[in-house]
Structure formats: C-alpha cells, structure tokens
Structure 1
Amino acid sequence: MSDERGEREEARLTRHAGLGDLELLTARYRDHAYALHTHDSYVFGVVVAGAEKLRINRQTYLAPAGSIIVVNPEDPHDGEKGCDAGWAYRTCYPSAELMREVAEDLELGHLPMFRQGIIEAPDLASDFVQAHRLAVAGRTMEAETAMLMALRGLTRRFADRSGRNPSPDDSEAARRFRLYRDLVEADLARAFDLGSLAETAGVTRFQVIRDFKRIAGMTPGQYLRDSRIRAASALMRAGKPLAEIAFETGFADQSHLTRLFKSMRGLSPGAFREAG
C-alpha cells in the first residue's frame, strides 16, 4: 500500500514463489475487527502505525507501532484497533515446512514455538519490514534472502529452545475433541448442533462446550466457522467458483461466505484469489 499511515482501510495480499508461495499481507485498518480464527501456518507481523489489540490463545495484548506479533500454528487469535486511528501492519504466514528449514539451520532439533505473542525488538522489526517490502515488490532473490534471515533472527532470539514440541493431549477431553473434529470435517455443509456433537462422544451438551474451550480455545460455533473458512480458503486457491465453495462448506450463500471470510482474513475472497 502506498501510505501505511493513511486513513482509508486497505488490504493487499501477495505471494512469493521463492519462499513456498509465502503469503504476505499489507494492511491498514481503522474499524475492521478480526473474528477469532486459526491458521495452519505461523503468523509474523510488525505494526508500522497505530496500535492493534489482540487475543492470542487466552491472553490479550496491545501491540503499538514497532511491535512484532507472533502466532504459532493453530493458536486461536483475533484483532481490533488498539487506538482511535486503528493500525497498519505487514504480516506473513510461513508454513511449518519453511520454519522447519529455519530451525534446522539453527540446529534446534524441533519445530520452533514462541511463548511471547508480542515481541519488542526494534532491529528485528526493521529487518522484517524491509524483507516484507522486498518480497511484495517481487525482488526474488534479494527478498528471499532478506525474509529467510529475518525469520532466522526472530527464531534464534525468541523461539523456545527447550526442545519441546507440543505433545498430543491424551486426556479424555482431547479424545472427545478428536471425535468432534472428525465429525465436522467429514461434512462441513451439515447443519450441526450441540446435540449431534454430544451424541458422537456420549456426553452432555455442557461437556461439549467445556471440551471445545479447553482444547480449541473456542466455542463450538467459533470452531465450526473457522473450519469452514479454512476449507473455503483451500478451495479458493484451487480456483473453484465462490457459489460452489459456499454450498460445499456450509454457508447460506456466497455473500455469507464473503462476509465471514473478510472478518477472519481481513480481505475479500476476490482480493485473496487475485494475490500474485
């Protein structure tokens, strides 16, 4: 975007082929608010103007200009303006495969995870913003080098070096949650209710609510909407018509899909599909 400190809301998504089609978002929001959602990728971003208020897992943060935002894969998060003027930021969404390459170069021996949702490191923030600018501009090798080094710097300094990867939760709640998840993913277009989820695990509707909160950090409804949007995103990348995607993923119609997609991804399905 030409003016990250301007007043008008803007969002532009680009993809960088040399980094595994890494998605890069350049955005300026004043009134937009992200609904709670997840990604199967990491999220790294730098606030370049204003401030963002966001929740990551169960913790709430305020990220002023200069802050680095870090979200691990599958961590539920949202976002809204943290000051009257809103916020502008540059973010990217590295895959686990890309971050594993970074970890291997650092000899971590495990996929990096980050305990801190907000990082204050002006030098790394500057490096990231510069790498992001190069990647968006399409300067292939220079951008590839700069972004890899920016991600390496963040990982080297702030990733959890204990050697712990998140281990599967073998609790009864986790076992039941896997049943709920499999039921939802088997037919996203189905009209689910708490009773159907409760029946598949042999528990009460109240227990279903508690299980989703404990394992996913979301209500059952939030989880279902997030699952549908993630599936819809994959179908958009494959070039399927939006009306068909809406039908297959359980939305009332194309406009319903469009509204919810923007609330979770920060841009319209059209802008998402046009990303080069």
Structure 2
Amino acid sequence: MPGTAFFWRDPALPHVESRRACHSRACYKPHSHPTFSIGAVDAGGSIFTGSKDGKVALGNGSLVLVPAGCVHACNPLPDAVWSYQMLHLDAQWLQAHAPALDDDTATVLHCPRLYAQFCAMHALLFSTASAGEKNAALLAFLADCAGARADLLPSERKPLPLQLAPVLATLQARPSASLRQLAQAAGLSPYQLIRAFRAATGMTPHAYQLNMHVNRARSRLQTGAALAQLAHELGFADQSHLQRVFKAHAGITPGRYRDRGS
C-alpha cells in the first residue's frame, strides 16, 4: 500500500500547521525547523536522533517534542513502514502561550494518556470545528505536555561560539554565500569552519544552508508560489534540484506540499 500524507492549515490559526503520514517509507536527512514541532507515532517503529540521549527507538504512542532550531531526524526501521502525526507551532507564539515548553533539547515521551489527547486534538484540527475550539484544545494539550515533562531536568543551553556569530549573520544576509566567504567571516580556513560549525550546530555549513532554503520554501509554498520561480529565488540550479532537496528534508515533493495544504 503506497504511503499517503495529509496537511492542514487554516488562515484563522496561522501559528499552527499539521500533518498526517500513513504507511510511509520516507527517510529524512538531519534537519531543523524554525517552528516548535510535536510528533506522534501511530504505527510501526522508528529511530529518532536529536535528543540528549542520542538515538532513541520510538513505537506506537511515542511523542517527540522538538524545539525550534534543534537538528534532528526520525526515520522508519529498515525495510519497514510507519504512520505518524506532526504538529508545527510558531516559535514566538509558543513562547508566549506555553513558555514551559520553550527549551533547546528534544524530549521523547511515552505516555498513553498524553498520546490519546494528542490524537483527539489533532483530529479536531482536521475537522469542521471552529477556530476557537481548535485553539482551546491545542492550548490544553500544550499545558498537559508541559506537566508531563516537568520532572525532567532543564537542559543546559550551549551558546554559539562567538567566532561563528559572523557566519550566521552572513547566512542571514546572503543565504547562498560560498564556503570561502563564510570561512573569511569567521577568520577560519574552510576545513576549520566545517569542523567548528558542525560541532556547534550538528550540521555542516552547506547542510545548514540547504535546510534554510527548505524552510523558506515551506513558507513560500504555503502562499502558492510557482516552483520554477521559487527555485530561482532560493538559488537552486533548477526546479528539479529544488524538488530533490525538498523531498530529502520534508519527505514529500514541494508541489505536493503546496497542493495538499490548499
């Protein structure tokens, strides 16, 4: 049975986006989101990387809380399929409405009650209920999420080395800057920059750039952007290049992502 994916977005609730994937074999490169993400495993098994515990096995009913900017990946077991649900929340909205969840380390929860509540809330998002009802259910779930992990020790935030601050500033100003330009900004050789950047962020500079492009593509696709124009805007060689990179990060082609969210 081929895998299927369903997206939900509502202009009345711009701070949340939802996804369901059934019988999926999609594998993801290590990546990050500008959003706070919550995933739930409905069937099958997978391996999650990105928490302080290293690789963590997930099964039916597992929940994963992934902070904005946290490099992670979650892939099915070899030669197997899995089904899951994914929720993405605007990071600033989360900080204002559920600050207890605003952390920098991914958390895995195995709580049947919380999983059942997540499923009910997620189903409500896909229903014809009012925006007010959906938002109330979301806030209630987040409050219970915070309670479920309240006994976990807070993580120690690791500030980015000051030497790399000019690199991130360059990437924000020029997302397609070359490795040599980034190395010059940091006063390092390209090889030194790759090692230092990977140690600090979990990605090489090139992987970080691709991840930035994919996250920008997500935002533009939600407005119905044309793929050829988007590929040009983001500095991809062509539309096919955009499609390959986007699918490797999101598990779905940009065209399907755009059309299924409409």
Same fold per TM (> 0.5)? yes
Q: Distance in 1 between matches of 2:105 and 2:34?
A: 17
159-168 or 262-271, which deviates more: 159-168
Q: Distance in 1 between matches of 2:185 and 2:157?
A: 26
Match of 1:138 in 2: 128
Do the aligned partners of residues 227 and 52 (structure 1) sit closer, same or farther apart at CA in structure 2, a change above 3 Å counting?
A: same
Q: Distance in 1 between matches of 2:116 and 2:135?
A: 16
Q: 3-state SS of the aligned residue for 1:85?
A: coil
Indicate if the aligned counterparts of 1:189 and 1:247 stay in contact, CA closer than 8 A.
no
> Offset at 1:67?
0.4
Indicate if the aligned counterparts of 1:41 and 1:73 stay in contact, CA closer than 8 A.
yes
- The partner residue of 2:37 within 15, 40, 43 is 43
Percent sequence identity over matched residues?
Answer: 27
Amino acid at match of 1:10: T
- Long gaps (5+) in structure 2: none
253-262 or 8-17, which deviates more: 8-17
- The partner residue of 2:238 within 250, 253, 257 is 253
- Long gaps (5+) in structure 1: 1-6
Q: 3-state SS of the aligned residue for 1:251?
A: coil
Match of 1:181 in 2: 168
Q: 3-state SS of the aligned residue for 2:220?
A: helix
> Offset at 1:232?
2.1
Structure 1, residues 32-53: CA drift from partner, whole Å, max 9, x if none? 1011111111111210000121
Q: Distance in 2 between matches of 1:135 and 1:165?
A: 34
Q: 3-state SS of the aligned residue for 2:7?
A: strand
Match of 2:55 in 1: 60
Amino acid at match of 2:203: M
> Offset at 1:177?
1.9
Indicate if the aligned counterparts of 2:35 and 2:69 stay in contact, CA closer than 8 A.
yes
Q: 3-state SS of the aligned residue for 1:196?
A: helix
Structure 1, residues 86-114: CA drift from partner, whole Å, max 9, x if none? 2101110112233234336xxx5xx6327
Instruction: Tell me the TM-score normalised to structure 1 length.
Output: 0.84
Match of 1:74 in 2: 69
> Offset at 1:133?
0.8
Match of 2:85 in 1: 90
Match of 2:184 in 1: 199
Match of 1:15 in 2: 9
Do the aligned partners of residues 165 and 253 (structure 1) sit closer, same or farther apart at CA in structure 2, a change above 3 Å counting?
A: same
Q: Distance in 2 between matches of 1:35 and 1:261?
A: 10
Q: Distance in 2 between matches of 1:124 and 1:19?
A: 23
The number of residue pairs the alignment matches comes to: 259
Match of 2:218 in 1: 233
CA RMSD of aligned residues (A): 2.5
Structure 1, residues 222-254: CA drift from partner, whole Å, max 9, x if none? 111111112222222343322121112121111
Q: Distance in 2 between matches of 1:218 and 1:138?
A: 40
Q: Distance in 2 between matches of 1:165 and 1:182?
A: 24
Indicate if the aligned counterparts of 1:16 and 1:138 stay in contact, CA closer than 8 A.
no
Match of 2:18 in 1: 24
Q: Distance in 1 between matches of 2:23 and 2:164?
A: 35
Q: Distance in 2 between matches of 1:42 and 1:123?
A: 21
Amino acid at match of 1:36: P
